[in-house]
Amino acid sequence: MDKTKCLIVGGGPAGLSAAIYTARAGLDTLVLGCAPKIEGDYDIDNYFGFETTISGRDLIERGRRQAARFGADIRCEKVLGIHHGDLGGFKIKSDQNEYQACAVILATGVSRTKPKIPGIADYEGKGVSYCVSCDGYFYKGRPVVVLGEGVFAANQALELLNYTPNVSICTQGKAPTIPAEFLARLESAGVSVTTDTITALSGQPALNSVTFGSTETRAVDGLFIAMGEASSTDFAYTLGVARNGQFLSVDSEMKTNIEGVYAAGDCTGGFLQIAVAVGEGALAAKSAISWLKEKCPKG
């Protein structure tokens, strides 16, 4: 397991801005995140300092080079889960590695959307869950389905096997993007992956069956939502970070309610703009730097 002092999840304006500050302050900084949404041929006209239009791609590439110049290690990896370490700090699992960090800055952009299944909100906490580490235990030996198409869903399904052998994955009509290594692990554990679409949920007072397509109904007690990438909301569940709807709650210094965990950019809500994300990244880094110098001088 690799160790770092400050681990930043997200390689967009907020994450890279934070990395510039933490790395420039001499802190060991690891950024995990691939191309942000804005890294394309989008015209950016309202960001300070560019008198002519700059493309999103150019802006991000410059930010990446700037953070790297101060020593930030930037890797295109998908974070699958973040948990509290047994002896303090945090354990971070990505699709490629595992890390230990003293502090974490969450800069993952806006959270993924929920699936559009009628009545899904009514079953939250009554069969529908967004967090295997929080709720997997309640489904010991019971039939569960993970809804998702990628490596995050695969990881959630593998984690669920600690509680029940009756696990399957349903991609809700999407083409699976689960890497071969994970597919092999799922197959040998007997976890099926189908592209079925869940159309209805039923059961009272809690979920006990799920309808696939227009006819097939199966006994399912737990439906774990893991669509797309793991989001700040997923990390908030496992770390105990307070939320305001789909956004993370932070104070004016971008501190969450959990010591050593900071958040910045679109994942905190508000005015979803590059200038704001960059400013919040700087603030989160400042808070993390002060905290790390006091609480993790050697770690």
Ligand X SMILES: Cc1cc2nc3c(=O)[nH]c(=O)nc-3n(C[C@H](O)[C@H](O)[C@H](O)COP(=O)(O)OP(=O)(O)OC[C@H]3O[C@@H](n4cnc5c(N)ncnc54)[C@H](O)[C@@H]3O)c2cc1C
Chain contacts with ligand X (rule: CB under 6 A): 9-15, 32-34, 36-38, 42, 44, 46-47, 78-79, 107-109, 229-231, 265-266, 272-275, 277
Residue closer to ligand X, measured from CB, 15 or 148: 15
Cβ at position 30, least distance to ligand X in Å: 11
Residue 138 to residues 64, 88, 141, 234: CA-CA distances in angstroms? 43, 26, 9, 18
Cβ at position 109, least distance to ligand X in Å: 2
Cβ at position 284, least distance to ligand X in Å: 11
Cβ at position 238, least distance to ligand X in Å: 12
Of 291, 258, 164, 284, which is closest to residue 220 (Cα–Cα)? 164
Residue closer to ligand X, measured from CB, 155 or 168: 155
Residue closer to ligand X, measured from CB, 228 or 299: 228
Residue closer to ligand X, measured from CB, 108 or 211: 108
Determine the Cα–Cα distance for residues 238 and 32; give it in Å rounded to an integer. 18
> Looking at residue 210, what DSSP letter applies?
E
Residue closer to ligand X, measured from CB, 34 or 200: 34
Determine the Cα–Cα distance for residues 82 and 102; give it in Å rounded to an integer. 12
54 strand-pairing partners:
44
Q: How many CB atoms lie within 10 A of CB 61?
A: 12
Cβ at position 182, least distance to ligand X in Å: 15
**Helix, strand or coil, per DSSP, at residue 26:** coil
Residue closer to ligand X, measured from CB, 200 or 258: 258
Cβ at position 298, least distance to ligand X in Å: 27
DSSP letters, 81-148, are EEEE-BTBSEEEEESS-EEEEEEEEE---SPPPPP--TTGGGGBTTTEES-HHHHGGGGTTS-EEEE-
